[in-house]
Amino acid sequence: MRNLKSLLLKVVAGVFALLLLVVVTVVLVNRKDEPVSQAALKLRHIAESSEQVADGDNAYVYLLGYSARENADVRPESFARVKWFRDFFARSGPSELSEYPGKDHVPSEASDPELKHLAALCKDDNRACADALERDPARIRTWVQRDAELIGRYEGLIEFTRWRELWPSDVRAPIPRFSQVAEGQRLMLLRAWLMAGQGDVKGCKRLLEQDLKFWRMTLGESSSLISKMIAAGAIERHFTMGNLVLRRLPPASVMAAIPENWREPMSFHETSMAKVMANEWKFSDQLIGPVAASNELQSMVWEFDSDILASGFLGRFLFQPQATSNANAERMLAVMTLFERDQKEMQSAAKEMLSTEAFAQKGITELGIYNFTGALLLNLTEPDTFVKYGFRVANLEAIRRVAFLASQLRSARIESNKVAGELQKSGIRDPFDGRPFAWESTQANLVLHRTQGGNADLKIAY
């Protein structure tokens, strides 16, 4: 019996010694964090190099007051809200969330089911949108007249020529009421559609040109992922609904109504993901540290009730903030660089990049013991998320081309049964593969097979 007890004590002591050795090894391996990497330094420089813009010249500031109550003067409301947010950030903690002060107006689409239905229809189906508009122009006129104030508010927005987000990487930053801006854009484009029906070529061109100019500027200057995607969505909406505006004009007037910025390819500055990736990296740094220190982290790994284990061992001994930031910076920089390539190389380059060690999803046993917590948190993110967003921006050049081509063919009075042949002969092609755009004869649509990005094919009514 004594021999058995002695053996058990030796086994327990051996297991304890082994566990102690493992703990000491882990602590020794994690005793030092990494220095700041070149990738992190580069992204920090990009994030901090934004040019200052006076509040009165800044479309972002105007946008914070855009949703103000009916009949309000947007500019004073914008300045008041910006001051409120600045005061809030000065006195609040890093995890406190802000709320909009004051009252917002009720969007027309929220109170008018028919207008809401039309908005959804025009988002999903350009042909069905065209048919709905043509069935009842009087109803469109009623909406445009009723919501003249909202259209004026939107036209006040697109007069701006500067955009700078005030807190692009701050987790507490307010999100502007972008849905109400989208409503304003739709209503203004409906007004342009009515003007086309009256043969107002100059008026149509002016509205289209100003709308696209604003959103291309915003796309290029956006620093946050949300704003970049909003601008990309507004540009797509512009081309799809703008196609219907130009489609309503007589063929002889179409080319005169096409704005010059419809003819200009999307620039590197506009489609660059540099500012977005830099600020997303900063945004992640703010989030990852508190998560690593939280007691909730244990549920991501194993089921223990010990707060000390979660917040102490995982959050202190197995978490290296700078090493985590460096690894994340390498990812963000790789995505940024991907979208600086020629569009014909992007798809293959994206596939190759996502297969690399830095982007590969790993099992928990593959994370290693150095900076285990940081590696775990990075591993929980979807590696291709930012790539999909980047392709949504890159696809805008293809959208511009197919919308312009549809108008060009209509102005030449090409019959529907001859469009397929004209697409084969046209020099305006898909920028990703150089192929002609497709033709859907049953619905008379030009078709863009979008490259990645997660969206369905885009169809432009002929």
User: What pLDDT, on a 0 to 100 scale, did the predictor assign at position 146?
Assistant: 95
User: What pLDDT, on a 0 to 100 scale, did the predictor assign at position 454?
Assistant: 78
Closest CA to 61 of 91, 84, 81, 47: 81
CA distance 93 to 115: 41
In Å, how far are 98, 167, 352 from 176, measured between CA atoms? 12, 12, 36
Q: What is the DSSP letter of 345?
A: H
Q: Own/partner pairs for 432-436, CB < 8 Å, 24+ apart?
A: 432/343, 432/344, 432/346, 432/347, 432/398, 433/344, 434/344
User: What pLDDT, on a 0 to 100 scale, did the predictor assign at position 250?
Assistant: 96
Sorting pLDDT into bands at 50, 70 and 90, what band is 99?
A: confident
Closest CA to 125 of 241, 27, 228, 233: 241
User: What's the pTM value of the predicted model, to 2 decimals?
Assistant: 0.89
CA distance 453 to 446: 19
Helix (H, G, I), strand (E, B) or coil at 58: strand
Sorting pLDDT into bands at 50, 70 and 90, what band is 26?
A: low
Closest CA to 129 of 244, 247, 248, 251: 244
User: What pLDDT, on a 0 to 100 scale, did the predictor assign at position 145?
Assistant: 97
103-117, 290-304, 389-403: segment of lowest average pLDDT:
290-304
Sorting pLDDT into bands at 50, 70 and 90, what band is 315?
A: low
Sorting pLDDT into bands at 50, 70 and 90, what band is 25?
A: low
Percent of the chain topping pLDDT 90: 68
Q: Could you tell me which residues are beta bridge partners of residue 58?
A: 162
pLDDT at 217 over 80: yes
List the chain domain ranges.
Answer: 54-91+104-261, 275-391, 415-462
pLDDT tens digit sequence for 240-279: 999 999 999 999 999 999 999 999 999 999 999 999 999 9
| pLDDT, average across residues 223-238 | 97
User: What pLDDT, on a 0 to 100 scale, did the predictor assign at position 247?
Assistant: 97
Farthest CA pair distance, the chain: 106
pLDDT at 449 over 70: yes
User: What pLDDT, on a 0 to 100 scale, did the predictor assign at position 299?
Assistant: 52
CA distance 232 to 266: 11
User: What pLDDT, on a 0 to 100 scale, did the predictor assign at position 462?
Assistant: 97
User: What pLDDT, on a 0 to 100 scale, did the predictor assign at position 11?
Assistant: 56
In Å, how far are 319, 372, 375 from 288, measured between CA atoms? 10, 13, 11
User: What pLDDT, on a 0 to 100 scale, did the predictor assign at position 383?
Assistant: 75
Q: Could you tell me which residues are beta bridge partners of residue 446?
A: 439, 460
User: What pLDDT, on a 0 to 100 scale, did the predictor assign at position 305?
Assistant: 47
pLDDT at 111 over 90: no
Closest CA to 173 of 106, 214, 227, 107: 227
| pLDDT, average across residues 222-244 | 97
Sorting pLDDT into bands at 50, 70 and 90, what band is 17?
A: low
